[in-house]
Each structure stands twice: as C-alpha cells, then as structure tokens.
Amino acid sequence: MLRILSGTLGLLMLAHSAVSNAALSIEIIGAGEHQIPIALVPMGGDEKLGAQINDVVTSDLTRSGLFRIVDSAGKSPHETADVNFNDWQLRGADALGIGNVSVQNGRIEARFRLLDVVKHDQLLGEAVSASDSQMRAVGHRIADLIYEKLTGDKGVFSTRIAYVNRQPKSYSLIVADSDGYNDQVVLKQREPIMSPAWSPDGKSMAYVSFETGHAAVFVQSLLSNRRRAVADFPGSNSAPAWSPDGKQLAIVMTHDGSSQIYLINPDGTGLRRISFSGAIDTEPNFSPDGQSILFTSDQGGSPQIYQMPASGGAPQRLTFASGNSFSPRYSPDGKSFVFANLTGGQFYIAVQDLQNGQMQTLTEGGWERKPSFAPNGKIILFASEARGRGILATVSSDGRVQQHMFTQSGDAREPVWGPQP
Amino acid sequence: MKKLVISIVLLNLLAACASQKPKEAAAPAPAPAPVAKAAPAAPAQTAVDPLNDPHSILAGRSTYYPFDVSVVQAADKPLVEAHAKYLSQHPDRKVRLEGNCDERGSAEYNLGLGQRRADGVMKMLEAGGAKASQLSAISYGKEKPRALGHNEAAWAQNRRTDIDYMQ
C-alpha cells in the first residue's frame, strides 16, 4: 500500500503512520561521559522531508547518549558557503550538519555535509539515496555517518533487532529497526517462540518454536518467509546459534539424555554432538573467529559460563562470581563476553574480560536477561521489566546510558541484535 | 508398592459402600453381606476408572520441586509410583510428562531443567512398570507458568512436572 503513495504527500502520510504505529516507545536514562555538542539543520530542498529525516537523525544521536543536540532554531544554512561558523561556536556546537534533499523518480536523494565548527572545515560530504518509502533508512544512514566520523566507532542505527512479543493468546517473532520502527511479524502463533538468532548475513532467522507440541528448532528466510524444521527430535531442541560463516548451527538437544550441544547444518544434515557433560549444557555462542563456543552449564553444580573449542573438547569454566550466570555472548572483537548474572534474587547484565577474567556489572539489577551486543560492541540489548511488563532495554558498554523500549502491548522478550546490513 | 495399590482398591471399595453403610461395613459380623455386595459391585468398579476418581491418589497429576532441583521429591514418590502401577495395568494408556520451571534462570536453561524434571518422572514411571512406549517427556521451561508473579508462592507452583494422560 505504501508503494502506491508517491511524492511528498505520500511520504508525509508514511511518516505520520510510522509515528503513531511505532512498535516501541523509548525512554533514555543517563548520558555519556563526554557528549559531543552537535547542531543539525533540517535539510533544505524538500523541507518537509528534510524535517522528517532530521527527526530520525536527532533521535538516533540522542539515544546513543554520546551527543548533545544544540538548538539550530533561527538559522538554516544548507550550503557551506551560507554557514557563519561564529554563530554556531557561540551556540556551543562543535559540529554542524547541513544539506539538501529531494525526491526524484521515486527515490530520496540527500546530500549531507558534516562541518567542523571550530576548524571551519568539512568533515564529511556524502550523498545518500533510497527509495521514497525508506525515509527512516536515510536518516539512520546519516546518523551512522555522523556517529562514525565523530566517535571513531561504526554506527548501528541502520541495523535491525529481533524480539518476541507475547500477548495473552499469541506469540509473535518481530524484526524491527534498531529504534523499534518498521516492525514486521516474521511468525505469529499460539505456542511459545524462543531464542531468535540472526544468520550472519541477516537474511535468515533461526528460532525455537513449540508448534509441534515441544521445543523444535526452525530456520526461516526473512526474504521468502520459507521455513524448515532443522531439529525436531523427541524431547527438547533449542538454543540455535550460527557459526560466523553461516554454515553451521550449534543447537541443544535432549534426546541423548540431557541438554547437550550439537552442531548441525542449517538444512538439518550433519548432526554431530560436541558436549558430553551429562549436565545441562545450553545457550551456545560462537566466538567471532569461529574457534570457540561459550555456553551455560550446570556441570559444576550451578549454572555458570563455560568455554570450549568449537569442534568439541574440554570445557573451561569462566564465571566464579556469586550467584548463577546465564546467556553468554562474545563481544564483536572477541575480547570479552556479556551475560546475565542472578545474585540475591536479582538479574544483572555484566561483562567479563576473557583475558584477565575481570567482571563488570553494567546495570542496577532487576529482571534483566538475554543480553546481546550491537555489531559495534558499544551497546548491549537485553530483556528487562518495567511497570509490570516485559520490555527491551539497552545499556552502553560502559554502563552509562540506558534506554527502555516499551511495546504498544504485551511483553517484549528474547531480544537479539542483528548484524550490520 | 503392592501394598499401596491394595490399599487404594480397598479405599475405593469402602468409598463405594460408604454412602449406604458407613459404619456397618467395617463390622465383622455381617461379613458375608459385604462380600456378596462386592461381587455385583465389581463390574461397576472396573467401569469407574480410578483415574477419574477424585479421591484416588491418581487424581494428583503434578510433582513439585525446590529451586533448580529436578529429582522427584520423597513426598511425590507415592504419586509417581501409583501412576506407574496404573500404566502397567493399562498398557493402552499413554502419558506425556511436561516439565516446568519458575522464571529464575534463562529461558533456555529452564527449558533444559524442565526437560530434566520430566525425564526424571519418566524414568521413575518406567522403573515402576510402565512401558517406554507409553511415555514421552517434554519441557515448557518457564514459557507456560501456571502462576504469575515474582514471588515464592508463584514460583513453587511453577516448579513442577505435569503427568498428562493423552486422550
């Protein structure tokens, strides 16, 4: 339906419906240690479109906690020649974003510049183009460019997330932009859905569904929606994790006695057991180099985090802190891992350095579970609870900035951050 | 175990007679009468499946556990043994053991724990005379809580294995 709409009017209607239909509403708590003051002038040309894109960029940068938006009211330069740098310096901005946008032949064409207010210099000059239904994607792309230029880290505003929305009588697997917009239902059913896992290319999703009466692992294409049961053996089949090359899944099955880790090809062939503890070994996660697997196990008496070679072999226990630990995931650089720690009746999100074993708790505690890193390693997405509902939350990897994302209804759970597009 | 089953049968017989002769049935003097009565009552006894008798131990269909424990507790053993005996006497009946957990722990760990609880009951049923072909075990982990709330009262309800007779 959206494709039928065209031109400025269509874009305006799209933007309004997107606002009122936002799947998640977001609250931000805390701020980064060093916020970069930046002024963003809504792009000229198609001014309505420019204002909409500006809203997306502003909201992305604000959510990161690393930027302070300087008021640009009363000034609207769109070309470098029109910029009076002293004005912006007086307003306290270090950087200034300007540009022009138009719609041509059904495509948004944006020319964006990022200027250094102090040095009177151009930091970035980029053309961003997308179909006219992709206004938000243009905004996310510009926000990514600004973020990368000014922080040195890759932006993740153009990435997607997946989560499960639980309603009283249904479960939906949802894929959405990282800010919760453009949410799409991948699967909706009465029986529980758990543990969504993005393929490394972002084109498929593995997950656990109870539709056959027990936990079974499915893989579904996000392009064609075609799906297949990869593991549907008696007992429970669960916890799918993709190898970095996308050629294998680590899964957990109980048909040999207890929850143990297996490797299997995404087409269901090549099943091979790699853990032999006889305890509960679950929640496998491949290291970025594909050589190791982190997992949760109670082989030492209580659930803790272990690591083993991806081909199988002796596991090594990694967590020794108080309480129980669950749901480990490597950081994108492979140097640390994030996990959920249950101590004194509260769940905390924590990271641990793989080299020195040092653990850092990032959150204040509550019902905080199932953490996963953004592809740049700077933000961690996790499941939490607020006002009696399951919500999604993020925390910056230094613990300073948190966001709470509320679904319109039902409980949001089992979130996972997708790969770079 | 035999003793247990016999006492259940006796209880059922007593219950059947109770409405008519609550006290006299136990008296030794009119012994032939109850026996004579019991004989025609026998078909009725087989017609009433003890599984449907709310006073039977078989009316209990759940075992309960402490936190992070999957071994069948002593208090629940008579229940599981009674179901094992029933299943051995009714080879056409099938049960599905459904393990559940409280919400503490990750969804996946709880799925494993619930499976271990269900498997534990399944093994005990098999040891008690049920055939493997009558039994299956699954886990719902913490996905289908019977009671909601972040408190021990709710958690205690949710740490259980349900013995579900298939129709």
Last residue within a domain, chosen from B48, B69, B84: B48
Contact A210 B115 (CB under 8 A): no
Same domain assignment for residues B161 and B99? yes
Same domain assignment for residues B95 and B157? yes
Same domain assignment for residues B63 and B99? yes
pLDDT at site B23: 38
Which residue in the set B112, B136, B137 is minimally distant from A282, CB to CB?
B112
Question: Which candidate in B96, B97, B101, B115 is best for mutational testing of the A interface (most A CBs within 10 A)?
Answer: B115
Residues of A in contact with B113 (CB under 8 A): 280
Contact B144 A192 (CB under 8 A): yes
CATH match of A31-151 with 3.40.50.10070: yes
- Helix axis angle, B77-89 to B2-18, nearest 10°: 80
| CATH number of the structural domain spanning residue B110 | 3.30.1330.60
Residues of A in contact with B139 (CB under 8 A): 214-215, 235-236, 254
Residues B8 and B85: their CA atoms lie apart, in Å, by 11
Residues of A in contact with B68 (CB under 8 A): 298, 302-303, 324
| A340: closest chain B residue by CA | B106
Cβ of B123 under 8 Å from any chain A Cβ? no
Cα of B49 to nearest chain A Cα, Å: 27
ipTM over 0.85: yes
Residues of A in contact with B150 (CB under 8 A): 367
A272 exposure class (CB count in 10 Å sphere: 0-12, 13-18, 19+): exposed
Instruction: Tell me which residues of chain B, numbers 124 to 153, contact chain A at a CB-CB cutoff of 8 Å.
Output: 136-141, 143-144, 150
Contact B108 A324 (CB under 8 A): no
Residue B97: how many other CB atoms lie within 10 Å: 27
Number of domains present in the structure of chain B: 2
Per the document, the length of chain B is 167
Nearest to A348 by CA among A325, A328, A332, A314: A325
Same domain assignment for residues B20 and B63? no
Same domain assignment for residues B84 and B120? yes
Same domain assignment for residues B79 and B157? yes
Same domain assignment for residues B98 and B142? yes
Give the start-to-end residue ranges of the domains of chain A: 31-151, 160-417
Q: What is the pLDDT of residues B72-119, one digit of tens each?
A: 999 999 999 999 999 999 999 999 999 999 999 999 999 999 999 999
Instruction: Tell me which residues of chain B, numbers 47 to 106, contact chain A at a CB-CB cutoff of 8 Å.
Output: 68, 104-106
Which residue in the set A258, A303, A413 is minimally distant from B109, CB to CB?
A303
Question: Which candidate in A171, A254, A347 is best for mutational testing of the B interface (most B CBs within 10 A)?
Answer: A254
Same domain assignment for residues B17 and B85? no
**Which residues, including other chains, have CB under 8 Å from residue A2's CB and lie 6 or more apart?**
A10, A14, A133
Contact A370 B113 (CB under 8 A): no
| A284: closest chain B residue by CA | B108
Residues of B in contact with A214 (CB under 8 A): 138-139
Cα of A300 to nearest chain B Cα, Å: 13
Residues A213 and A169: their CA atoms lie apart, in Å, by 16
Contact A282 B140 (CB under 8 A): no
Which residue in the set B106, B114, B116 is minimally distant from A296, CB to CB?
B106
pLDDT at site A257: 87
Same domain assignment for residues B69 and B13? no
pLDDT at site B33: 42
Structure tokens at B144: 């289908």
Asked if A68 contacts A35 with a C-beta cutoff of 8 angstroms, the reply is yes
Residues of A in contact with B137 (CB under 8 A): 235
Contact B112 A302 (CB under 8 A): no
Residues of B in contact with A212 (CB under 8 A): none
Tens-digit pLDDT string for chain B (167 aa): 344 443 443 344 334 433 333 333 333 444 444 444 444 444 444 567 889 899 999 999 999 999 999 999 999 999 999 999 999 999 999 999 999 999 999 999 999 999 999 999 999 999 999 999 999 999 999 999 999 989 999 999 999 999 999 98
Contact B105 A254 (CB under 8 A): no
pLDDT at site A24: 61
Residues A80 and A131: their CA atoms lie apart, in Å, by 27
Domain assignment of residue B85, given as a range = 57-165
pLDDT along chain A (421 residues), means of 10: 25 32 61 85 97 96 91 94 95 96 96 95 95 96 96 95 96 95 95 98 98 97 96 96 98 94 96 96 98 97 97 96 94 98 95 96 94 96 93 91 88 96 85
Residues of B in contact with A238 (CB under 8 A): 108, 111
Same domain assignment for residues B67 and B33? no
Q: What is the DSSP string of chain B?
A: -HHHHHHHHHHHHHHHHHTT-TTGGG-STTTHHHHHHHHHHHHHHHHS-GGG-TTSGGG--EEE--TT--SPPGGGHHHHHHHHHHHHH-TT--EEEEEE--SSS-HHHHHHHHHHHHHHHHHHHHHTT--GGGEEEEEEETSS-SS-SSSHHHHHHHSEEEEEE--
**Range A160-417: architecture per CATH:** 6 Propeller (2.120)
Amino acid at A134: Q
Which residue in the set B68, B108, B113 is minimally distant from A252, CB to CB?
B108
Residues A101 and A142: their CA atoms lie apart, in Å, by 12
Contact A296 B109 (CB under 8 A): yes
Which residue in the set B107, B114, B119 is minimally distant from A414, CB to CB?
B107
